Amino acid sequence: MKIADANIVLRYLLNDTEELEEKATEILEKNEVFLPNEVIAEVVYVLEKVYEVKNDEISDTLKELFEYDNIELSDLALLEAALDLYGNKQLDFVDTLLYAYNKVKGYRIYTFDKKLKKLLED
């Protein structure tokens, strides 16, 4: 199994460096690639904090990427639930992942985070 890191995904999505974008396209479109949750979280963080992309745009773009037949994820339902929430609320992506673990998997989440705690109680 091959894993692409956040830089590969970012160059592919941003198309900001022609040479690197071409290599990233080759990797992500011509190979079976696993994207761990950690890589996805880093991609979301960089897009939001460095490139100031809006949450809903990040959510839509990643969900589109996840539809590729050659992209493997640890849990598509979990990631889609997290991205749905992330695209609609002003929450950190990791908090939306924790929320999704609760709602999709039934895991109990312990947190001191007031926004996340309120969301989990709803």
Give the up-direction half-sphere exposure of residue 94: CA atoms within 13 A in the CB hemisphere: 7
For the chain, list residues with pLDDT below 50: none
- Domains of the chain (ranges; CATH) run 2-121 (3.40.50)
What's the residue count for the chain?
Answer: 122
What pLDDT, on the 0 to 100 scale, is given for residue 31?
A: 97
What is the pTM for the complete model shown? Answer: 0.93
Burial (CB count <10 Å: 0-12, 13-18, 19+), residue 121: exposed
What pLDDT, on the 0 to 100 scale, is given for residue 1?
A: 86
Task: Give the C-alpha separation, 118 to 113, whole Å.
Answer: 9
Q: What is the pLDDT of residues 91-106, one digit of tens each?
A: 999 999 999 999 999 9
What pLDDT, on the 0 to 100 scale, is given for residue 60?
A: 98
What pLDDT, on the 0 to 100 scale, is given for residue 122?
A: 81
Q: Let me know: does 86 contact 55? Beta carbons within 8 Å.
A: yes
What pLDDT, on the 0 to 100 scale, is given for residue 12?
A: 98
What pLDDT, on the 0 to 100 scale, is given for residue 18?
A: 92
What pLDDT, on the 0 to 100 scale, is given for residue 75?
A: 97
Task: Give the C-alpha separation, 48 to 62, whole Å.
Answer: 13
Which amino acid is present at 109?
Answer: I
